[in-house]
Amino acid sequence: MIQIYHNPRCGKSRNCLLLIKESEKEHQVINYLENGPTFDELIALTQKLDFEPIALVRQKEKIWVENFKNKQMTNDEIIQAMVNYPILIERPIVIIGDKAIIGRELDSVIDFI
């Protein structure tokens, strides 16, 4: 099953979800702004993405800029910031099994799914 961490206000996320729906493959939409991931879920997600936690952060978000930019933070602190402020999580994220990608480029999503 395909899972997508989706933000309905984001055009790239909406386009990615539409692509997944059109594939007619079984999928699950996770509205992560309403039901934010736990600390452990974010650790698992960074492992599936093969990313350091900072690579999953939307570093231009106002919350990041005002509260965290230029601070020395551990990976755990970065993950906790995303738990506290899910808007900081890059989107959309497409997950299949133990692999995941950031689905901002639809060609990458097509290849992935």
Which active-site residues does the annotation give? Answer: 10
From CA 99, how far away is CA 91, in angstroms rounded? 15
Q: Where are the alpha helices (DSSP H) in the chain?
A: 11-22, 39-49, 62-67, 75-84, 106-112
Distance CA 113, CA 94 (A): 9
Q: Report DSSP state, residue 105.
A: S
